[in-house]
């Protein structure tokens, strides 16, 4: 049988032209937590973040929730942004929160690409999708 399983689900809403809202959750045999975070599309800056820790391993863990606010102002477009998240949110707070924030961050460009392809297909259902993605540039 399975001895350990972890699932991550990341969803991206576009709440206005310049804001993407991620909802990320991570559930495994040991932990369960969730993040909501808004990112400004034009510069990749995290503008808002909240988290909920549902299942964890010791009584100190929930103190990592306020540490999440350090992510506000950090940009997903700076070099080694993921290392910075792991250091500031992970080591000083909770590694598993950091894992979700990082997965949201990794979805940033992919989500923009998805939205643009989806919208392009709405107006041109016969679009060459490969070619569209090949030529895709962030607006």
Give 26's Cβ-side CA count (13 Å radius): 20
Position among 122, 123, 130, 137 found at the interface with another protein (CB under 8 A): 130
Interface with another protein (CB under 8 A), residue from 118, 126, 135, 139: 118
Q: Which of residues 77-106 bind another protein (CB under 8 A)?
A: 90-95, 103, 106
User: Which residues is 41 bridged to in the sheet?
Assistant: none
Sheet holding 32-40, edge to edge: 19-28, 32-40, 46-55
Strand bridging mode 19-28 / 46-55? unpaired
Contact residues for another protein, defined by CB under 8 A: 1-15, 28-30, 57-61, 63-64, 67, 90-95, 103, 106-107, 110-111, 113-115, 117-118, 129-130, 133
């Amino acid at each position: 049988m399975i001895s350990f399983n972890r699932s991550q689900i990341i969803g991206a809403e576009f709440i206005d032209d310049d804001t993407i809202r991620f909802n990320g959750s991570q559930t495994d045999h040991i932990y369960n937590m969730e993040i909501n975070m808004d990112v400004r599309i034009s510069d990749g800056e995290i503008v808002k973040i909240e988290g909920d820790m549902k299942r964890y391993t010791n009584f100190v863990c929930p103190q990592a929730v306020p540490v999440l606010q350090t992510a506000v102002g950090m940009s997903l477009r700076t070099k080694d942004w993921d290392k910075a998240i792991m250091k500031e949110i992970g080591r000083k707070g909770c590694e598993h929160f950091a894992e979700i924030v990082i997965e949201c961050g990794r979805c940033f460009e992919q989500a923009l690409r998805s939205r643009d392809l989806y919208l392009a297909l709405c107006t041109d259902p016969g679009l060459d999708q490969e070619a569209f993605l090949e030529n895709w540039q962030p607006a």
